[in-house]
Amino acid sequence: MRFPQILAVSALALTAACSGSNEPSDTAGEQTSDTATEMASANDGLAVTPDYLAGEWCYERFEAGDDVSNEQITYNFAADGTLKYQNNSSSPVDKDGSYAFTDGVLVIKPAFSMFKLKPATLGDKEMVFEAMGGRFIWSRGACQG
């Protein structure tokens, strides 16, 4: 069944097309200290912070039960709350966006602005967020094709 892939791709296209602005918001890169402390204790001292996110990450796939949607989209997070990303796996990493981590969730605009990505696992080379009944799997570095 390809429903999660269609849903993820449709949501990505919808949010990119319908977002009012790709300009970073006033809350870009924000994080609440209580949430950071809670995340750090749950993930071997790692927390979703601008420093943790800074650099390239590959959004590898979305998993929902037995269904897997391979995405392979590179994001380049800056410590100031801005980012660059690809439209698809063969396009350049040149689209502007922003991100914020507040109230325990990561919001990436415009691509994931409809989703509140809740951290499930954080590691040096991989991070996993949960939303929409599924898991968003990321690995550090640019996607490799």
**Which tens digits make up the pLDDT trace of 49-105?**
999 999 999 999 999 999 999 999 999 999 999 999 999 999 999 999 999 988 889
Q: What are phi and psi of 57, to 5 degrees?
A: -135, 140
Decide if pLDDT at 33 tops 60: no
Instruction: Identify which has the larger pLDDT, 63 or 18.
Output: 63
H helices of the chain, where? 3-18, 33-42, 50-53
Running DSSP on this structure, what letter comes out for residue 117? B
Centre a 10 Å sphere on the Cβ of residue 103 and count the other Cβ atoms it contains.
13
What confidence score (pLDDT) does residue 47 get? Answer: 87
The share of the chain scoring above pLDDT 70, in percent, equals: 68
Topology of the domain comprising 3-140: Lipocalin (2.40.128)
Strands 67-77 and 82-85: antiparallel
Query: pLDDT class for 43, splitting at 50, 70, 90?
Result: low
- The pLDDT-based confidence of 137 (bands split at 50, 70, 90) is very high
Query: For position 45, what pLDDT does the model report?
Result: 63
Q: At 14, is the pLDDT very low, low, confident or very high (cuts 50, 70, 90)?
A: very low
